[in-house]
Chain A
Amino acid sequence: MGKKILIVDDSESIREVVSFTLENAGHEVLKGVDGEDALQYLDGSNLDLIITDLHMPNMDGIEFIKSVRKIDEYQFVPILFLTTESQTAKKMEAKDAGATGWIIKPFIPEKLLAAINKVVR
């Protein structure tokens, strides 16, 4: 069943890879370039899932996750963040901020879909 997914990352190439993979799997994808930009997509969008990078200009991933959780509509939406292997401290912070799970960079499309499958069904 196709879900509505928001991908937030300041890297255009990452956004494109993710949306390509997800769209091929039958999902609808919205794209944001950083936290601030992405927040505008939340109003009344009924997103099923949010995927966000952590290091972005204007509003980083942690701030963004916190902001999302403050919105009533999105208190319980699954949020996955993109992280690299060595970022254990960041991971803690993101989880504390309310993230559901993570995807490790670099990732192949299959891994992306597997992670999503864990949190939206």
Chain B
Amino acid sequence: MEKFREKFIEEANDLINELEKLLLDIEGNQDNPDLIQQIFRVMHSLKGGSSMFGFNKMDKFTHHLENIYDLIRNKKLKINEEILDITLASVDHLRNLVHEGEDADTQNQEQHDLLLSKILQLIDENVVIDETSPTIQETDSRDIEDEATYYISFKPHANIFKFGTNPLYLIDELCEIGPTKVFVRTDELPEFDTINNTECHLYWDIFLVTNLGINTIGEVFIFADEQCDLSIHKISDINLLEEESFLGIIDETIKNQKEIDINQLKQLTNDLEKVFVKAQEDQTKQTINFSTIDANISSIRVSSEKLDNLINWVSELVTIQARLSLFAQETETNGLTPISEEVEKISRRLRDDVFSIRLIPIENMITRFQRLVRELSQELNKDVVFKTEGTETELDKNIIEALADPLLHIIRNSLDHGIETTDERQINGKPKRATILLKAFYSGTNVIIQISDDGKGIDPEKIRNQAILKGIITSDSELNKKDTFDLLFQPGFSTTQKVTKVSGRGVGMDVVKRKIAEIRGEVDIDSEINEGTTITIRLPLTLSIIDGLLVQIGTTKFVIPLSSVYKCYEFKHETLANSINNLIRTDNQEIAYLNLRELFEIEGDAPETEHVVAVQFGDTRIGLSVDNIIGQYQAVLKPLGKLYKKQQTISGATILGDGTVALVMDSNKLINQFANNQIKVGG
């Protein structure tokens, strides 16, 4: 069972996470029967699994929780704040139980007992749970008694086959218990031509001798007890099957197709009958409403290593497919081109699917933020609601994990320092309830995550003063708003005088910035006094195979990510050279353009006809001039390596079909770096 235990621990963690999410969802949706059903199902799975794999404490714990939710789903109890609080606290405790195993340290044990008593209280105060144990004794132990003879009358109902029961198997099982004599009765068979072979019209009289007791015999029939008429009688304390006289009488009775007369049998013995009567189970048939099937997406776990391997293979496939395409173009063998095109199509689809496996919607990490807001706002006595937008936005799994801490910190800060108390808010004419909004969306080749609150904002003056005090800036330095806020990222910077338990002194923005820089992202702060603060995190998309536009300048080939490309234009070199302030006219609009040949210091002269690729840059478009546009290309991104660490404008390279290296541009960084230079300098 050991290795299964590991698996279960994984599963249990997933279930507990799911539970937590459901509990937070149900807060606003208390009457949703679907959610309750789902919660119940999760608890049930947890209980089932924990009992299977030796987590006894968890088993008992979830058993009671399950009961509460059973009551709730049967409408015998209504879910409320208290129940939710206790359940959420239980979620944490469950995590501990799973993690620490069954040996509890005292702290865990106390928590365990405390929660348990609270839960039991909830149950006691309400309806008694309908936990009827089945009265059919499903005993394990075979009672060893003295040998006795039993008569079993076994009459299956006509539809017994439809329950998958094979009466012969049952009889076989009986024969395993002891010596038997079995008589099949055929007198109830219908006429041959009306026989329905899916119905059972046979019945049996069986005599069995065993020392295992009447319960053992009853056990044989436990599955089928409602699909047959059954009676078991002990008819003697001795082995009648060894008595000639007995056998004789039985044989005769059967031969004459007479019913076996119990009384007659009894006459053969001196014992009192012990009738094993099937007890009626207490049947509280409740109609349980299983509402709509929930739209869970079934999933499987894949090891990260396997996934990385898969991604590597796909990358190599794309590379070699490029060579195939090139070869197909150059050799004019009939039939090769369509094949190579097909290969290209398929490998593109394969690439898209495989790469999207690593991408997970941000949704997944929202739960912990919700809990943080909920608990902190309670603790700080502030009224805050946490909203989200765009949580379906997907990010690479590694990035999501790296973001969790910084985001938690930002939200903590906001709750602690940004959001005011309800009184303060009222005085300022703001709604009592504050909002923290987490927004995620794509922008060009970036993902943007914004956290904004409608709190009291940050006062640039205060920051300025603090910075001067700390010697970070001199008193005569003039900083615009953005630069002032950037000061907050300096290590050791804090504007609060008091240390709060929650987020320390508000320091840590430098750590946040560093963590985000580690995943190649950027972070900015913006704020308006009394209106609120917004923190914006910009992250590059880290796909390692991108769709690009292959272009050429001089002898060097470049790839521009297709996602940034808006349109391509042809221009005469003269027109470009004569442009004023590097503005050119396209589609009835003027856009600025960058002379890449110049900026990249590429030798040689530009051709007579050049091309300008217009790329999206924030809200506007900027043109990039190149010699030629070769075409679309699936580029497997290869890093330039440590030596080019400082390189900003070129984000990587790719190996072309002919084996040469093309450089992949980061148009945003490129424009950022050069736009000011060139446009100032003027064409």
Contacts and interface: CB of A to CB of B under 8 A. Distances in A.
Tell me, yes or no, whether A and B come into direct contact in the complex with CB atoms closer than 8 A.
yes
Contact of B284 (A16, A60, A88, A118): A88
Given A17-B4, A95-B163, A85 B133 contact: yes
Interface string B200-241: 000000000000000000001011101000000000000000
A86 B286 CA distance: 14
Contacts of A102: 223
Contact of A57 (B132, B284, B294, B301): B294
How many A residues touch the partner, as a band? 35 or more
Interface stretch (B39-47, B309-317, B520-528, B671-679): B39-47
A76 B169 contact: no
17 contacts: A11-B45, A11-B48, A13-B5, A16-B7, A20-B4, A55-B41, A75-B161, A75-B162, A88-B132, A89-B284, A100-B164, A102-B223, A104-B138, A118-B170, A118-B223, A119-B166, A121-B166
A57 B41 contact: yes
Interface in A59-89: 59-60, 62, 69, 75-79, 82, 84-86, 88-89
Interface string B1-17: 10011011001000000
B544 interface: no
A83 to B, nearest CB: 9
A104 to B, nearest CB: 7
B179 interface: no
A86 B172 CA distance: 30
Given A57-B293, A89-B283, A118-B223, 10 more contacts: A56-B41, A57-B294, A88-B132, A88-B134, A98-B164, A104-B138, A105-B51, A119-B164, A119-B166, A121-B172
Nearest to A97: B163
Contacts of B8: 11, 13
B198 interface: yes
Interface in B174-204: 198
B122 to A, nearest CB: 18
Contacts of B284: 88-89
Interface string A14-26: 1011001000000
Given A79-B164, A118-B223, A84 B169 contact: no
Contacts of A95: 163, 226
Contacts of B170: 118
B51 A78 contact: no
B290 to A, nearest CB: 6
B255 interface: no
A49 B290 CA distance: 26
Pick from A58, A88, A91 the residue with the most CB of B within 10 Å.
A88
Contact of A98 (B131, B163, B169, B286): B163
Contacts of B298: 33-34, 37, 57-58
Contacts of B4: 13, 16-17, 20
B45 A60 contact: no
Contact of A92 (B48, B161, B162, B285): B285
B578 interface: no
B243 interface: no
Interface of B: 1, 4-5, 7-8, 11, 41, 44-45, 47-49, 51-53, 59, 131-134, 138, 161-166, 169-170, 172-173, 198, 220, 222-224, 226, 281-286, 288, 290, 293-294, 296, 298, 301
Nearest to A115: B223
Contacts of B131: 86
A44 interface: no
Nearest to B38: A57
B164 A99 contact: yes
A100 B132 contact: no
Contacts of B283: 88-89, 92
B164 A88 contact: no
Nearest to A91: B134
- Counting chain A CB atoms within 10 Å of each CB, which of B138, B223, B224, B294 scores highest? B223
Contacts of A120: 169
Contacts of A75: 161-162, 198
Given A13-B8, A57-B41, A100 B163 contact: yes
Contacts of B59: 106
B169 A14 contact: no
A41 interface: no
A37 B297 CA distance: 12
**Which 10 A-B pairs give the minimum distances between C-beta atoms?**
A101-B223, A100-B164, A78-B164, A106-B51, A13-B8, A13-B7, A106-B52, A57-B296, A86-B131, A17-B4
Contacts of A76: 161-162, 164, 198
Nearest to B5: A13
A20 B293 CA distance: 30
Contacts of A13: 4-5, 7-8, 11, 49, 52-53
B286 A100 contact: no
A10 B47 CA distance: 14
A112 B290 CA distance: 28
A53 B48 CA distance: 10
Nearest to B296: A57
